[in-house]
Amino acid sequence: MLRTSSKIIFLLLSTVILFYSCEEEEDLLITEPQTDERSAAETVQDTVYSDAELLKVLEEEFDFLEQEKKGNISDISSMDIVKENPKKVYVHYLPWFQSKDFDGYWGQHWTMSNQNPDVPKSNGNLQIASHYYPLIGPYSSNDPDLHEYHFLMMKLSGIDGVIFDWYGSKDLHDYGLIKQSTETFITALEDLGLQFSIMYEDRVAAQVAEQSATTSIIEAAQDDFTYINQKYFPSPQYMKHNNNNMLFVFGPHHITTETSWNQVFDILPTSNRPDFLTLWAASNTVGVNATGEFLWVDQDHLLAHEHYYNTHQTTDQIIVGSAYPGFNSFYNEGGWTGGTDSWTIDLNNGTTFIETLNYNHHERSDFIQIITWNDFGEGTMIEPTQEFGFTYLQLLQQYTGVPHTSDDLQVALDLYLARKEYTNNEQAQRLLDRTYKYIKQLDMNRADKIIKSIQRFL
């Protein structure tokens, strides 16, 4: 069952059908949320299976495991999801968390300057640097069980891929850990057929140059672009638009002339130059190297969206829509006074997410970046939390038009919880590997039965 201690606002998702037309755009894609005072746990009911039924499932699965050993069962190539909405949806992803259980220590994005996850709060949750609490608790970005859980949730919600926030190729501060964590995700991404791209932070090039790790900021950025070209672009799942690799920059803030960016891009083969997208209103600092811009969360909220689209409606640049649940930073409370948190955008129990998703359904938006999957520090996550359960993913399921529901999300969550409950049980883990394959095949009923059989008999 979906575990939460809070009462939440649930959204009735059954009254809207998505319409698509080549001749005109539809303005309203998602209804306003309506209240339902049931708790998240009460909205998903366990299916009751008899002992005989579950024992039969176990017997069959053990036989399948034997056949797999002999090579008689082929693997599933990817997870094919049918979407009624053709608009591509990507999520901005932060691969920067470490947990004591997995890594041996708590990383700074759970602690900031003054939080201690070793100290439980009065409600039993650990003390983390966020106003919100992950449904699965604080985790490690290096954990393969997390990769499986996050990516299955994304696929079942109609998400097409991930844009990783990336801090360069050098081992400076925790940037090396972020690069390492990013690369632990790629195998799982490729296995499920999700795409991925890189969001480069050019300030790291400035920091590397300041530390005298390179001769100049240009050289530092060239090193990073060479690494991206060699390590990430070759992946068959690297994100493309019109057959070009997509590369984003959060800014730029430190390399701010066309001449400088010409030097950075000269390091790449001419045949492999990516489409390069800057933060909104920053493409002029990149010049002809920029092929588009993306909007970010702004305190002006929908006014910023309006201005962004009005600015770009007559250009031939790539236009990236943005959608987010709100903004509620923990930086001041966490002692990170350099962070941006002098303003908030109320989450409004899903209404803000609805507003921003609806705003983006225009022909002029080439695709959508959701901000974010898991930035708990700034409170922009759509990942399931104790406070909101599956709310944001249910809204996304409606927007993307996938034939999946919260029941399917629950099976993916149960798989993760079973992975953790039976960590040291090799037999159970092999059966859970089978469960993962059934979810890839979208046989959610069989996957659910295997999990229930493990819980009952192993």
| Closest among 226, 281, 221 to 254, alpha carbons compared | 221
Q: Is the pTM of this model over 0.85?
A: yes
Is 431:61 a contact under the CB 8 Å cutoff?
yes
Is 15 domain-assigned? Answer: no
Whether 288 is in a domain gets the answer yes
pLDDT at 311: 83
Spatial contact of 347 and 124, defined as CB atoms under 8 Å apart: no
Q: Residue 6 domain-assigned? A: no
Domain-embedded: residue 172? yes
* pLDDT exceeds cutoff 70 at 66: yes
Is 425 contained in some domain? no
Q: How far, rounded to the nearest angstrom, does the alpha carbon of residue 65 sit from its chain's CA centroid?
A: 32
Query: What burial class does residue 253 get, using C-beta atoms within 10 Å of its C-beta: 0-12 exposed, 13-18 middle, 19+ buried?
Result: middle
The answer to the question of residue 14 being in a domain is: no
CATH of the domain at 267: 3.20.20.80
Give the domain extent around 267. Answer: 84-415
Q: How confident is the model at residue 283 (pLDDT cuts 50, 70, 90)?
A: very high
pLDDT at position 338: 66
Number of domains in the chain: 1
Q: What share of the chain is helix, strand, coil (3-state, %, to 5)?
A: 40, 10, 50
Residue 452 lies in a domain: no
Tell me what the mean pLDDT of segment 4-12 comes to: 32
Question: 94 pLDDT exceeds 80?
Answer: yes
Quick one: average pLDDT of 162-167?
97
Query: Could you report the per-residue pLDDT of 248-273, keeping only the tens digit for each?
Result: 999 999 999 999 999 999 999 998 89
Give percent of the chain above pLDDT 70. Answer: 87
| Residue 164 falls inside a structural domain | yes
Residue with tokens 């953790």: 420
Check residue 144 and give its pLDDT: 98
Q: What span, in angstroms and rounded, lies between the C-alpha atoms of 204 and 220? A: 8
Say if residue 300's pLDDT is above 50.
Answer: yes
pLDDT at 166 > cutoff 50: yes
User: What is the pLDDT averaged over residues 106-127?
Assistant: 96
The answer to whether residue 281 scores a pLDDT higher than 50 is: yes
Whether residue 291 contacts residue 316, with contact meaning beta carbons closer than 8 Å, is answered with: no
pLDDT at 9 over 70: no
Confidence of residue 6 (pLDDT cuts 50, 70, 90): very low
Query: How would residue 31 be classed by pLDDT, with cut points 50, 70 and 90?
Result: low
pLDDT value of position 337: 73
